[in-house]
Structure formats: C-alpha cells, structure tokens
Structure 1
Amino acid sequence: MNTYVVTLLIFGAVVLLTAWLPMALRRVPLSLPICCIAIGMALAWSPFTPLPQFNPLENVKWAEHLTEFVVVVALMGAGLKIDRPLGWARWMITWRLLGIAMPISIAAIALLGWSVLGLGAASALLLGAALAPTDPVLAADVQVGPPQTGEEDDIRFALTSEAGLNDGLSFPFVMAAMAIAGSTAGHSDWVLPWLAVDVVWKLAVGAGTGWIVGRALGYLTFKVPERSRIARTGDGLAALGFTCVAYAIAELVHGYGFVAVFVAALALRSVERHSSFHGELHDFGEQIERMLMMVLLVCFGSIVAEGSLLQKVDWRVAVVAVVTLSLVRPLAGWLSLMGCRHSVAEKAIVSVFGIRGLGSIYYLAYASGKVQFEGIETIWATVLVIILASIVLHGIAVTPVMRWIDRRRGVDKMKPAPTPDATD
C-alpha cells in the first residue's frame, strides 16, 4: 500500500469533514473538536492507516511550534472580528476576567498541583500558568460572529476578548515557573530580572509593537492611494501575512508575540472599522485556523490513543481535573464579575465556558523543552486530561446553552432568515 497516497486520501477526507461538519452539527450538542479527536483516535488505532501514535514529550519542539502557529492565527482572527472599539469602560468585563479571574485561577490550580499532586513550587506554578488561559482556538462556538454582523453580545464579546489577551498575559507566570526551576533552592535572585524583563518589558513591547504594526498595516491596507491599497486586492490571504509579521517583529525585539498579534488585529480594525475587506480577512483566517485546528486535534487524538501519558492518570489527577473545571474557573469567573450589571445567567455562562485547549499544550511544550521540571509527566497527563474533558463537556453543552440564552434574550441564531416574497 502506498503510504503517501493513503495519507493524501485521509487528509483530504478529514479536510472535507472539517468543512462539512460545522454545518451538520449546527443544531446538535456536539462540536467539531470532539469529532476531530475521535477521528485521530480511530486513525491511530486502525491497522490500515499511517498515522503514528506518539508521545508529545518525545516531540516537544513539534508540539511547541505547531500549537504556537495555530494559536497566533486564532488570535489574529479573534481580534479582527471584534467590532467593539478598545476602551476602559467598554472592555470592563474583559479587564475583570484578566485582572481577577486569571490570577485566581493560576493560584488555585498551582495550589492543587502542590497539595494534591505533590508537585514542587516550579512545577505547580507551571501547571497553573498553562491551564489558566482560555483557548482562542477551540472557543469558536462561544465567540463573536464575523466582522460587522452584529453578533457581538456581552457573553460572546467577553469570551472572545478574554481568549485573545490571556494567552499572552499568562506568559510571565510560565517564565516565573522556569526561573524558579532553574534557580538554586531557596534563592530569590530571579525575582527582579523576572519583573523587569518578563513582566514589564515583554508585555509593554508586545502591546506596543502590536499597536504600531497594526496601525502601519492598517495604513497600507486602507489609507494609501487607492490603487496601492492591500484592501483593493480583496485577498484574505493578507490575514496570514499580518499575523506572521506582527508575531515575528514582536519576538525579534523580545516582546510577547501572542499579545502583539491580538493587539495588531485590534489596531488594524481601528484604522478603518467598516471596510468589507475585514470580512475577507476573517473568512480566510477562519478557514486556515479550522484546518490547522483539525490537524492538531487529530494528532491530539493520536496522543490519547498512544496512552503512555494517560497511564500517569490516577485519582489525584482526576481530582485536580474535576476541581479545576467545575470549581476553579467558574468561581474565579463569578468573583471577577461581581458587581457587573449583567444577569445571573450571563455571568454564569461567561464563568463556566472558559474552555482549555491548544494554548495550554503550547505553554507546557515551551517550558518543558527549555527547563527540567520535576513530575513533568504528571503535569502533561493532568493538562491532557483537563483539555480532553473540557473539549467534551463544553463541546456538548455549548450549543444548547447558547441557544437557550439567545432565545431568552429574544434572539434565535438558529432561525432561518425570512425568504422574500416573490410577489413583492
């Protein structure tokens, strides 16, 4: 059997399923990520396919760079489809989630890692930092709609903007875990360099670079003489170029590229908010993101099928997973939204639907590829179990819950648009 031809057949079939399944699953409590993982498991277990079963700890660099790329593409897409202008009051729900819910989540998960899993300080902090961010890749079902479609209620805006920013804002905590792991026991000489470089410098440079690059790209896209504008091409492929340029420049000047990409997308929108070209950029970016997500989740299914990391799962890992998903994120989100004008149902949905995903794998691969952490297999097993459980639970619940809250507010996104009367 020709392995190359079989691989092309499988890839083509999975891509077609990825294009068709979102439409088929629109009314069903089942998500595309769940299907992709199931496909990956089936292919890895099948004796007739070339998909290997692999352990990410043996392929850390591959895991790091593949997840890195799909996350930055998702961050650009999330930023491009947010219609709401950046502002302190307009984004208050986002600032609350970032400034209150995320630190509480990191501390609580780290405490669970230390007390239940028996991890040291560095490993526990890495676990908390990797699992605290919500995922921009897997949260499509609870994100805002395409640009200028009006599908931007406070729930979807909160979850989209939070996912866009907290992937970058959790990076300082990952760096702190790496600094603790690499320092001499009992020494705190890493604190000042960490505060100066990893917190202040890299966050400021990431945000500043993103804003400058986004405004510059916006000028080239919308403001130069019309015959030279990028928007005149109507080519959504430019979204991929915007993503790579913003990320690479920020990383070259030692800023956080994740922050830069999302901020660049917001800055690009701010230059010209109502151009139809934003729709072209969004549509292409969404297609690329979905294809990359499909590939990675099929590989994730292969990791599950391989099973060596999941053999590390015991009652302690199960307890941490259950507490993290059922208590830590919901309570942290709820505390951060106390005093907001939103209804109890809306606060509950924002608090619960903080899906964990590929960003967590990126952080774990990045850190474990550079520094030795004690109990690293236990950390990987815990993260994989939580991601798998989050994808399944949130994937099943999101469709009925979002339809329920939309109907409650008098909006039914599943209802077909009225057909014009031919006699009019």
Structure 2
Amino acid sequence: MGVVGGPVSPGPPTGAIITPTDPVVTTPIVTGSLAEERIPERVRHNLSAESGLNDGLGYLFVMLPVLLLTKPGQAWHEMLVKVLLWEVLGAMLFGVIAGFALAKLFVWSKNVGLMEESSYLGFFVPFGLLILGAGKLLGTDAILAVIVGAAVFGQVIPERDEEQEDKIDDAVARFFLLPVFILLGLALPIGEWAALGWIPPVALVAAVLLRRIITLWALRPLITSLHDVPETTFLSWFGPVGISALFYATLAERHTGNHEIFIYVTLAITLSVLIHGLSTAPLSAWLKRREPERKQKHETG
C-alpha cells in the first residue's frame, strides 16, 4: 500500500478508477441510426443509465483508497462525513433541486414564447456547465450533480422536448469527444508505457474486460426477465473506460502525488477504446442476427 508521505502503489486507486463504464465513450455505441437498427432499445437505455450512474458514484470508490493511502488515521471519518454525506449525497440533492428548477424555467420559457427549438442548444449546454460549475464551487461531486440534474430535468419536461434534449445531448457529447481524445493523445506517456514491459498491458486488458464479464454473468439470475443470453453477452462485453477515468486519474494523482496512476489509467483507456471501438460494429451486427431467434423463443415461451 505504500508509506504515507512517500511513493504509493497505483494499484488500489487504479482499480477503482477503471471500474465505471464511461458515459461519453458509450454514446457512440448506443446512439445513432446504426445503433437504433441493431441494438434493442432496452439494451441501449440500460447501458446509458448504468454508465451515467456509476460514472458519478465511482467517486466514492476512488476516494476511499486515496484517503486510506494519504490519511489512514482519518480516512473513514472523512469518507463518511466529507465524501459520502457532502460530496455524494450533497451532489445528488443539489442535482435534484437544480434540475427541477431549470426544467420549470425551461417549460415556462417555452409556454410564454421566449424559446424556439433552435434555442434548445443554447439552453442545454449552459444548463450542464452551470450545474458543473456550481457543484464544484459547493465542493460536491460535480459530475454526479450534472447526471442527477439531467435525469430530473428529463422527467419534468414534456416528452417531445425530452426527445429533442436527447438528440442535443448526443450531438454535444460527440462534439466534445473528438477534441478531448486529441488532447489525451497528445499527453499519452508512450515512453513510460514502453518501460512497463508486457505484463501491465495484459493485466489491464484482463481488468478492463473481465471486471464486467464476470459481474454481469454472476448477476445473470437477477436479469433474466430483462435480457436474454445474447443481450447479456453484449452488455457484459461493453464497459468502455474513458473520460471519467481520466478525470479520476488526475484527481488521484493530485491527492497522492503518484504519477504512475496516470500512466496505468491512460494505458487502460487506450486499450479499452481500441478493443471496444473495433468490436462495436461486429458485435452489434451479431446481436441483430440473433433477433429472429429471440423473437421465436419469446413467442414459443
């Protein structure tokens, strides 16, 4: 685990950092005409909901090993009072209030004729930035606040506007995805990766893939009514690591002073983007081919 004040192992924080499914990298998998044609709606919605929730809640599991490494005597007290009660639950409460208030403002603006559909983008982007910035100023988990706020917002506004919001969300996510990964590519520590040898990349590939495959199939008895075997296979494969892991890596490095966390996490992100990116089209096509078989089993069952 390392010595307080000295170098610490990247292991515990890194494991927590690469566990959550990233909602930004998941967007190209579950949105667009190709995804709508090949992937059942319930699979796309469940994958989106899961990635959004565990991305924010992952903060708990990242901060626990960080606090145990840096403040072992105060770790559990700070974890309960500061991280859980304020940064997580406080973020959720703030997200609910902000999302509800902004949704009411959105509906009122439309009803009195102050907003057209062409103005939606001008509302939704500041909406996210406002909650993100305010959440950071309050000292909460701002990412979780945005996710909760967006979920509440979507429940309050009319269904037609919610569909428009989804389209804008997808467009904004795709717009920011490319520049973020360009910047990440420029900062990749390729030379430090080469110095690791072959064992860390193999271990990270196993961690990125098996963490999800083992979990989903262990939970298979609980989701039989929701997803059949092909759908569970698809869901168990796609757990991409991305932008949120990069954020948590910089957070953990800042708290611990351990640069190795950034090296391992960026390698995991790169491997995940390659593996999941290259396998999206063939696996979604495979899932589409299983559709007649699933319908036949459903009708005979």
TM-score normalised by structure 2 residue count: 0.83
Q: Does 1:335 align with 2:218?
A: yes
335-344 or 392-401: bigger deviation: 335-344
CA distance in 1, matches of 2:110, 2:202: 60
> What is the DSSP-based 3-state SS (H/G/I as helix, E as strand, rest coil) of the residue aligned with 1:334?
helix
CA distance in 2, matches of 1:336, 1:309: 37
In the other structure, the counterpart of 2:297 is none
> What is the DSSP-based 3-state SS (H/G/I as helix, E as strand, rest coil) of the residue aligned with 1:132?
coil
> What is the DSSP-based 3-state SS (H/G/I as helix, E as strand, rest coil) of the residue aligned with 2:74?
coil
> What is the DSSP-based 3-state SS (H/G/I as helix, E as strand, rest coil) of the residue aligned with 2:221?
coil
Aligned with residue 58 of structure 2, among 160, 170, 183: 170
What letter corresponds to residue 132 of structure 1 in structure 2? T
Aligned with residue 307 of structure 1, among 184, 187, 190: 190
In the other structure, the counterpart of 1:255 is 140
- The 1:407–1:157 alpha-carbon spacing in structure 2 relative to 1, beyond 3 Å, is same
- The 1:336–1:142 alpha-carbon spacing in structure 2 relative to 1, beyond 3 Å, is farther
CA distance in 2, matches of 1:263, 1:131: 21
CA distance in 2, matches of 1:129, 1:291: 28
Give the deviation of 1:261 after TM superposition. 0.8
| Deviation by residue 1:102-139 (Cα, 9 ceiling, x = unmatched) | xxxxxxxxxxx99xxxx95x632210121011111111
What letter corresponds to residue 205 of structure 1 in structure 2? G
What letter corresponds to residue 316 of structure 1 in structure 2? I
1:230-245 alignment, distance < 5 Å: 230=115, 234-245=119-130
- The answer on whether the counterparts of 1:144 and 1:152 sit within 8 Å (CA) in structure 2 is no
User: Which is richer in helix?
Assistant: 2
What letter corresponds to residue 388 of structure 1 in structure 2? T
What letter corresponds to residue 263 of structure 2 in structure 1? A
CA distance in 1, matches of 2:70, 2:213: 33
Unmatched 5+ residue regions in structure 2? 294-301
CA distance in 2, matches of 1:365, 1:279: 34
- The answer on whether the counterparts of 1:237 and 1:284 sit within 8 Å (CA) in structure 2 is no
1:401-412 alignment, distance < 5 Å: 401-410=283-292
In the other structure, the counterpart of 2:49 is 161
Q: Alignment identity in percent?
A: 22
Give the deviation of 1:232 after TM superposition. 6.2
- The 1:235–1:331 alpha-carbon spacing in structure 2 relative to 1, beyond 3 Å, is same
Q: Does 1:297 align with 2:297?
A: no
In the other structure, the counterpart of 1:370 is 255
TM-score normalised by structure 1 residue count: 0.61
In the other structure, the counterpart of 2:170 is 286
- The 1:270–1:125 alpha-carbon spacing in structure 2 relative to 1, beyond 3 Å, is same
- The answer on whether the counterparts of 2:23 and 2:51 sit within 8 Å (CA) in structure 1 is yes
Unmatched 5+ residue regions in structure 1? 1-112, 412-424
Q: Does 1:323 align with 2:206?
A: yes
Give the deviation of 1:254 after TM superposition. 2.6
Aligned with residue 400 of structure 1, among 257, 277, 282: 282
CA distance in 2, matches of 1:344, 1:235: 39
255-264 or 225-234: bigger deviation: 225-234
> What is the DSSP-based 3-state SS (H/G/I as helix, E as strand, rest coil) of the residue aligned with 2:256?
coil
- The 1:288–1:340 alpha-carbon spacing in structure 2 relative to 1, beyond 3 Å, is closer
In the other structure, the counterpart of 2:296 is none
- The answer on whether the counterparts of 2:230 and 2:290 sit within 8 Å (CA) in structure 1 is no
CA distance in 2, matches of 1:291, 1:233: 17
Aligned with residue 381 of structure 1, among 263, 270, 276: 263
- The 1:302–1:247 alpha-carbon spacing in structure 2 relative to 1, beyond 3 Å, is closer
In the other structure, the counterpart of 1:269 is 154
> What is the DSSP-based 3-state SS (H/G/I as helix, E as strand, rest coil) of the residue aligned with 1:289?
helix
What letter corresponds to residue 242 of structure 2 in structure 1? G
Q: How many matched pairs? A: 284
Give the deviation of 1:358 after TM superposition. 1.6
Give the deviation of 1:168 after TM superposition. 1.1
Give the deviation of 1:316 after TM superposition. 2.7
What letter corresponds to residue 161 of structure 1 in structure 2? A
- The answer on whether the counterparts of 1:312 and 1:381 sit within 8 Å (CA) in structure 2 is no
Give the deviation of 1:181 after TM superposition. 2.7
CA distance in 2, matches of 1:266, 1:220: 16
1:81-100 alignment, distance < 5 Å: none
Give the deviation of 1:230 after TM superposition. 4.3
- The answer on whether the counterparts of 1:309 and 1:380 sit within 8 Å (CA) in structure 2 is no
CA distance in 1, matches of 2:187, 2:77: 39
